[in-house]
Amino acid sequence: MSGQSVSLHAYLPFLIDGVWVTLQITFAAMALAVPVAFLLAAGRMSSWRVVRLAAGFVIELFRGTSAVVQLFWAFYVLPLFGITLSPMAAGILVLGLNEGSFFSEVVRASLKSIVVGQREACVALHLPRRYAFWRIILPQALPVMIPPFGNALVLMLKFTALVSLVTVQDLSFRADQIRTALGVSGEIYGVVLMIYFALALVLAGAVALLERQAARWAGRPVPALLPWLRAHASPVPRWALGR
């Protein structure tokens, strides 16, 4: 038994390298997903019917088909058309476009959630449309988008395990290799589960801080950091503490 633990220990640096790969894919795919989501949302809100239909088609295409099949497509079928992607690039592309399609609906709903009065004020003040969007509507829509963005980010982190299917050496891929080498599944998957959990916690915390910042942009009152932390970080609800 103890011999096995020692060898698992020896594999830890190998596993940590996998964490970096997983994080790289997560951030790269999100970095692709956000602009894609804005583009698709803009397409869905276009005044041209053709553009609306095209954006809707792309969204439904990615939402409505299996991500694994899309991944296989990008990795195994695209080369037949002369487009060869590295496993990493294929993974980032598919995950990014997928999330972009889902998130475009969040973007669209957030932009629409800005009350009609704000848009009418922009018209009544004769503000140029570009200015109205970037300086009036978007700063107010961003805080609405951030909680679902945090959700999407954590989902993306877990979603990245898919890319191990096309030989990307991410956390899951390496866990599988260690399992094969050592023949122990309990320990190794336990460790990997905890690593994913720890990463997700850190990401969720970072998004919560981002949410505060966005509320500040939108002109909403933001409580000081310490009392806010005390109110949000405790796993025990306040009513349970009898205060």
Partner 1 sequence: MPGDDRIAATGGRPPMVRMAGVSKAFDGRTVLDAVDFAVRAGEKVTLIGPSGSGKTTILRLAIGLTKPDAGLIEIDGRYLWHEIRAGQLVDAGERHARGVRRVVGMVFQQFNLFPHMTALQNVRDPTIQVLGLTRDEAESRAVELLTQVGLADHMAKRPAQLSGGQQQRVAIARALALRPKVMLFDEVTSALDPELVGEVLRVIRELAHATDMAMLLVTHEISFAEDIADRVLMFDAGRIVEDGPPAQVLKDPTHPRTRQFLRAIIER
Contact positions toward partner 1, by CB under 8 A? 117-118, 120-121, 123-128, 131, 135-136, 139-140, 217-221
Q: Which two tokens stand for residue 123?
A: 């018209």
In angstroms, the CA 91 to CA 80 distance is 18
Shortest Cβ distance from residue 108 to partner 1 (Å)? 21
For 105, other C-beta atoms within 10 Å of its C-beta total: 16
Q: Which two tokens stand for residue 162?
A: 């898919």
Shortest Cβ distance from residue 123 to partner 1 (Å)? 6
Shortest Cβ distance from residue 22 to partner 1 (Å)? 36
Q: Are 161 and 172 in contact (CB under 8 A)?
A: yes
Shortest Cβ distance from residue 124 to partner 1 (Å)? 4
Characterise 187 by phi-psi region: left (phi > 0), alpha (psi -120 to 50), beta (else).
alpha
* SS3 call for 233: helix
Would you say 54 or 218 has its CB closer to partner 1? 218
**Nearest one of 100, 89, 111 to 58, comparing CA atoms:** 100
Would you say 118 or 234 has its CB closer to partner 1? 118
Shortest Cβ distance from residue 92 to partner 1 (Å)? 34
Q: Are 96 and 33 in contact (CB under 8 A)?
A: yes
Would you say 56 or 139 has its CB closer to partner 1? 139
Would you say 23 or 127 has its CB closer to partner 1? 127
In angstroms, the CA 72 to CA 70 distance is 5
Would you say 71 or 142 has its CB closer to partner 1? 142
> 86 — phi, psi (to 5°)?
-65, 155
Shortest Cβ distance from residue 111 to partner 1 (Å)? 15
* Cα of 58 vs its chain's centroid, Å: 19
User: 91: exposed, middle or buried (C-beta count within 10 Å: 0-12, 13-18, 19+)?
Assistant: buried
Shortest Cβ distance from residue 113 to partner 1 (Å)? 14
Would you say 119 or 179 has its CB closer to partner 1? 119
Would you say 52 or 119 has its CB closer to partner 1? 119
For 37, other C-beta atoms within 10 Å of its C-beta total: 26
